[in-house]
Structure 1
Amino acid sequence: MAPAHLRRPPQPSPVFTATAQSIVADAERLISTSREIQDKVVAEVKPDSATFANVLSPLTQDENVMALEAHILGFYQAVSTDQKLRDASSKAEELMDEFFIESVMREDVFGLVDAVLKRNESLDPESRRLLEKEHKDFVRNGLGLPAGPQRARFKEIKKRLSQLSIEFQKNLNEENGGIWFTHEQLDGVPEDVLSGLKKGDGENAGKLWLTFKYPDLFPTMKYATNSDVRRQVMVANENKCNQNVPLFREAIVLRDEAARLLGYPNHAAFRIEDKMAKTPETVNKFLGDLRTRLTAGGRQELEKLKELKKELDPQFDGRYYLWDHRFYDRLMLERDFQLDQQLIAEYFPLSTTIEGMLKIFEELFGLEFVEITGDDRAAVAPTGKGNDIVWHEDVQVFSVWNDEGEGSGFVGYLYLDLFPREGKYGHAANFNLQPGFLDKDGNRRYPATALVCNFTKPTPKKPSLLKHDEVVTLFHELGHGIHDLVSRTTYSRFHGTSTVRDFVEAPSQMLENWCWTPSQLRALSRHYSTLTPEYLAGWTEAQQARSGGKTATGPPSERIPDDVIANLIRTKHVNDALFNLRQLHFGIFDMTVHEPTSHAAIEGLPLSATYNKLRHEITQMDGPEALGGGDEWGHGEATFGHLIGGYDAGYYGYLSSQVYSTDMFYTVFKANPMDPQAGRRYRYQVLEKGGSQDEMQTLTEFLGREPQTTAFYQDLGLA
């Protein structure tokens, strides 16, 4: 049990007691309060007396307080099991988005902010940044346009884009499709996946329902020996949300119209102006250079995979299809590198892996994580009821503290929601529930952050086991969570991961390197059979089934063996060119649809065909078009939540921030990943800053120079 002083955080936890009625009512109350504050500022302050203290301070204090409830009101749509609650959460988000659009188009407020900027008071750097960004937000939201039809049209577009984004993501969250298959069709798929599938009755008696959720989809694409089954699953997955096709098209066309209204040549120019890259030309040059460097490597990797397919597939037709890749990539790793992903997963039970990861972050950053369970939950709940501090029984919650060396103070709350369920957000992500900031009295308000993932659920005989790529995903998302927790900014708008999009992934991507460090992999690992007698019995039974009834030869080693780690690390860059070409496909498609030569060009662009053609050209793999299906066979853009949810003209950031993350790791951590001094310096120079200063300044101060691409290309073997 945690020491008493770590069991009573100074700030109560958030509560999750909303009803469908209260969510919308709370959103309306927040909006009403906020509007009153804006009206009061306008009524009491005239441009000639406008200062940061009487204009920006009340507005940002209101923004801070609003964020404490607003983030949670919008969060229910991603995690609640109650359809009515999810719908209400979507409605609340729509209302709040509309109010935000109204706020940033208030000419009376803009007049005061403009007057403050012109006054040029002496301000601390974060307040100066806030003032400049606030001013620019008004201009970028149409107040540079003359009042009248143009501005009205711009506002109309902004409102519609908000509605499209919410509806698009809701369709993805609610998606519950799948395909019925026989056991025979799913030959090769691991038994622990099959045993978790819904069993059919009536006309589907004897069949299994395979969903498009990750724990079903990925193992099927990796292990199903029947290539036609893999093709069916892959094509159906690309078409699982076709109601989003018209929403995506409408959003792309409206974005282009809005950008042109503001005087930009296209949406990409508008979006990238405020990012580290500054111009679409910089982005296109980076993506083009990377494509040139990767294409030859991708071709070589494909040739080797084709040879393997030719050897194993009697029906080989000389082509390598999109649905072949996960399957033959795995086979190559197993055959040429003796890499058994199922065996590796046995060493990474979810609970002990999380424990190990938190320990790494404790050592590196000077933190302590204390799980809040039992009676302690009631003690931190403002309602006095322990169940109120989580939104589902599966959720774990931790209080996070500085260790003695860092002053022992409270840091914030961390939530983990790790298993799939109906209506839940389908990928892996970190959600800020409450930001940190300084309140109007100068007291620190502490953050709360949630990891929402979809890992395989445990069974009585086996815990949830993570494949190595899932360990990497967990580390990545926990990296966002740590960024959210240790950030200390004055204003909520700069808190944690509220950085420019082409930097936000870098801190998390850098922490992925610990998943490729032998000492850390060993420390993280623990064979699941050593956790409980029931798991040992389950493992023994599985071994006997695998070996045709023979008794298992002794228990496995507790820690992952060194030779298995060595094999795993040797595979880090196997088929890496193909992996990065896939990322390039997403990035180049994103730029293509957001950088048309004219408005007519985007109106006439066949989006699905463009998505599929670009994928074929860039990844060099064949899709159904090679079988005479044409280029409209799938609608992958309709499942691509990133491009509707904030990464528009920004997906390149996953690749460009990889440049920054690799540079940081090679320069500061590679020689000794667990150096506590380097960890503390990273915490305070990079993570703590959030978006409160220019991200290039943050990076340059940490590296001691401007970032370089050398380490990135060296790591990929392309130097």
Structure 2
Amino acid sequence: MAIESHIIGFYQAVSTDQALRDASTEAEKLLDDWGIESSMREDVFQLVDSALKKGEDLDPESQRLLEKDRKSYITNGLGLPAGPKRDRFKAIKKRLSEISIIFQKNLNEETGGLWFTPEQLDGVPNDVLETLAKGQGENEGKLRLSFKYPDLFPTLKYATNAETRKTVFVANENKLPQNIPLFREAVVLRDEAARLLGYKNHAEFRIEDKMAKTPKTVDEFLGDLRERLAAGGLEEINKLLALKAAEGNKDGHYYLWDHRYYDRLMLEKDYQLDHNKIAEYFPLGPTIRGMLQIFEQLFGLVFVEITGEERDRVSDTGKGSDIVWHEDVQVFSVWDDEDEGSGFVGYLYLDLFPREGKYGHAANFNLQPGYMDENGNRRYPATALVCNFSKATPKKPSLLKHDEVVTLFHELGHGIHDLVSRTIYSRFHGTSTVRDFVEAPSQMLENWCWTPSQLKSLSHHYSYLSEDYAKAYQESSGDSSKPEEHIPDSLIENLIKTKHVNDALFNLRQLHFGIFDMTVHEPSSHENIEDLKISETYNKLRSEISKLDGPESLGEGWDWGHGQATFGHLIGGYDAGYYGYLSSQVYSADMFYTVFESDPMNGTEGRRYRHTVLERGGSQDEMQTLVDFLGRKPEPDAFYRELGIKA
């Protein structure tokens, strides 16, 4: 079913055609409704139950499939007696599916923005301003700033006008009022459904089959980390407040809309780090090629881009445009190298630039899973990276800030996991692991973006790409001499020094998301979640955990923003699971520092990692996968050392 359904549902995230996006949304609703009905088939459940009780000697993955199938029937309502309770549970499941689809569609199709004068956008880089729409009529002389990442983040980082940054930040938190009631309805319905099944709350229901097993384990992990990071966070804020005061603003507040700006300023002043200068060495095309070469060397893969007439040849219709959904999309066929047997692996698609109606963040989408068919033949996977990096201009190619390099490498890590997986069943393919493990492989690979030799090999100054770019660089820089082709060692050294600058504040931000997630999914009673003031809770927790001031400190109350309405993770599968972004770092740090730290490009270890971790997908217990790779159970020492706190 996934061979058809993943692509059908994918159009709502990437198509430029409103009618096709709408049709994709409606089709996904139909598929989800069918899935809910089929997951509550009493007759099929009896067959699965009987097969498990029969106790035949099965291969481990088939045994795991049978056990998980039986459990899923029970947690999908067949543990309830036929009648009103089961009917109510089914109705809740259908409504939750509908909410998820509508919520994400609203996120994808959000088109809001604000008009500013050029003076209000003082400090924002020219290459950003040049891409903004120019106003007419009442907006004559103004520029329109959208809430898409290529507009939003540079403005919060560079706009010298604090009021502009505040306006943008608050507006972004309030950009989707239609999602506010949907979020509330979702958490209330989830709690009701969990209680119908006999669980205390939705968190207990969701975490039972994850690595953490219980909400108590999660709460203790998050609480302990919060306690360990609190002092460091306050220390970082004090340093940033001193920088703010030195800039002439001594109001004593460090606001939410201050952080990206003063964090960037600190990096420039204290570490001589100019992210725009670093971005010059990471034009998108060469950076992608460099990343793929790393994966080739580490994992024994070969990536072949399909372009021009070759697209016509591989297309069933003979039209190359039919094998992609947009002209910007790149597609690669992926192969094993000779040492790995030279076999076909799958297809990788890259859709990297923003456009109207497109999914607004960075993510990896499985288009078709891999598995063995009933004749023992392999069905090959296809996977897509969907990101939103700034597009090229006549004077510059798309240039990646270092954090965007990390994001791209992270998502490519998910894509490689999706491609090299070798499971019998599609259910366990690739990233289909428990949520509190799924981020670990990609998080581990992020370390390559902080390794001097790899940064050097990935880099390629954009002025070397063409004569036009070289001329444009000289004009914009006022420097007639050519820059180094690869990023200088001094820049790399300065960059690596900043890896943990304001790290406590970053992780406290992640803790805010994780603790809010647990708060709304772990109420003491159903009445508690029905009565919970969700927006106030979101903003209060952020203030308490991150220690950053918001509009509430200016007397505007706690209901000033509705960030949860923009939080697609908690509606799209990370409910009672966002903690996994932090907990999986325990595993990713342990794997990197134990195996790869001394030689990140060790192809022998890279292939062992491919076969021991990535190939397994979710086909065995994830803790067993870690033990197989590490030779022992994972330990948190490397994670805490990385954060600069005692284990």
CA deviations on 1:645-694 (whole Å, 9 max, x unpaired) are: 00000000000011100000000000000000010000000000000000
Within the candidate set 506, 515, 519, 1:588 is matched to 515
- Indicate yes or no: 2:40 matched with 1:100: no
Please give the alpha-carbon distance, in whole angstroms, between the structure 2 residues aligned to 1:700 and 1:225: 50
Distance 1:442 1:402 in 2: 20
Q: Identify the range of structure 1 (367-376 vs 379-388) with the bigger mean alpha-carbon deviation.
A: 379-388
Q: Which residue identity is paired with 1:536? A: A
Q: 1:440, CA displacement in angstroms?
A: 0.9
Q: State yes or no: 1:401 paired with 2:335.
A: yes
Residue 378 of structure 1 deviates from its aligned partner by 1.6
Alpha-carbon shift at residue 317 of structure 1 (Å):
1.1
Deviates more, 1:381-390 or 1:585-594: 381-390
> Which whole-Å CA distance do the structure 1 matches of 2:566 and 2:181 have between them?
12
Q: Is 1:627 aligned with 2:562?
A: no
Do residues 692 (structure 1) and 616 (structure 2) align? no
1:343 and 2:277 equivalent? Answer: yes
Give secondary structure in 2 for the equivalent of 1:250: helix
State the secondary structure of the residue aligned to 1:430.
Answer: strand
- The letter of the residue matching 2:492 is I
**TM-score, normalized by length of structure 1?**
0.90
The match for 1:431 is 365
Deviations 1:626-649 (A, max 9, x none): 000100000000000000000000
Alpha-carbon offset, residue 553 of structure 1: 4.0
Deviation at 1:172, TM superposition (A): 0.4
Equivalent residues in 2 for 1:469-618, closer than 5 Å: 469-544=403-478, 552-618=479-545
1:40 aligns with: none
Does the Cα contact within 8 Å between 2:474 and 2:480 map onto a contact in 1? Answer: no
Query: For residue 110 of structure 2, what is the aligned residue in structure 1?
Result: 175
Deviation for aligned residue 1:386: 1.1
Map of 2:134 onto structure 1 = 199
Q: Which amino acid aligns with 2:576?
A: A
> 1:681 is matched with which residue?
608
Residue number among 148, 165, 168 corresponding to 1:213 in the alignment:
148
Residue 368 of structure 1 and its aligned partner are, at CA, apart by: 0.3
2-structure distance, mates of 1:696, 1:480: 19
Instruction: Measure, in 1, the Cα distance between the counterparts of 2:400 and 2:551.
Output: 32
- TM-aligned CA deviation for residue 382 of structure 1: 2.0
Stretch of structure 1 that moved more, 642-651 or 305-314: 305-314
SS state of the match for residue 258, structure 2?
helix
Measure how far apart 1:610 and its partner are: 0.1
Partner SS state of residue 707, structure 1: coil
1:703 to 611, 630, 647: 630
Cα distance in structure 1, aligned partners of 2:275 and 2:307:
33
Residue 75 (structure 1) aligned with residue 28 (structure 2): no
- String of CA shifts for 1:508-541, please: whole Å, max 9, x gaps: 0000000000000000000000110010111111
Aligned partners of 1:202 and 1:113: how far apart in 2? 67
The alignment partner of 1:423 has SS state of: coil
Helix, strand or coil: the match of 1:322? coil
State whether structure 2 residue 378 is matched by structure 1 residue 462. no
Report the Cα offset of residue 384 of structure 1: 2.2
AA of the residue aligned to 1:444 = R
1:277-316 correspondence to structure 2 within 5 Å? 277-314=212-249, 316=250
SS state at 1:412 partner: strand
Distance 2:388 2:480 in 1: 34
Q: CA RMSD in A?
A: 0.5
Structure 1 counterpart of 2:48, from 99, 113, 123: 113
Deviations 1:82-121 (A, max 9, x none): 0010000011111111111001111111111111111011
Cα distance between partner residues in 2 of 1:487 and 1:115 = 30
Provide, for residues 176-234 of structure 1, a one-character-per-residue CA deviation record: whole Å limited to 9, x for no partner. 00100000000000000000000001110110000000000000000000000000000
Q: What is the deviation of 1:601? A: 0.2
In the alignment, the residues of structure 2 paired with residue 342 and residue 553 of structure 1 have an alpha-carbon distance, to the nearest angstrom, of 19
State the number of aligned residues: 646
Show the counterpart of 1:265: 200
How far residue 67 of structure 1 moved from its aligned partner, in angstroms, is 1.1
Structure 2 counterpart of 1:537, one-letter code: K
Match of 1:7 in 2: none
Distance 1:382 1:82 in 2: 22
TM-score using structure 2 length: 0.99
Kindly state the Cα deviation for residue 381 of structure 1 after the two structures are TM-superposed. Answer: 1.4
Indicate the residue corresponding to 1:440 in structure 2: 374
* Residue 383 of structure 1: how far off its partner (Å): 2.1
Q: Distance in 1 between matches of 2:403 and 2:453?
A: 18
In structure 2, distance between residues paired with 1:342 and 1:622: 28
Distance 2:321 2:486 in 1: 36
**2:2, 2:171 → 1: CA distance?**
39
Q: 2:94 aligns with which of 159, 162, 167?
A: 159
Corresponding letter in the other structure for 1:474: L
Q: Which of 249, 268, 276 does residue 334 from structure 1 map onto?
A: 268
Distance in 2, matches of 1:134 and 1:288, equals 34
Distance 2:11 2:81 in 1: 39
SS in 1 for 2:445: helix
Q: CA deviation at 1:313?
A: 2.8
Q: Partner of 1:392 in structure 2?
A: 326
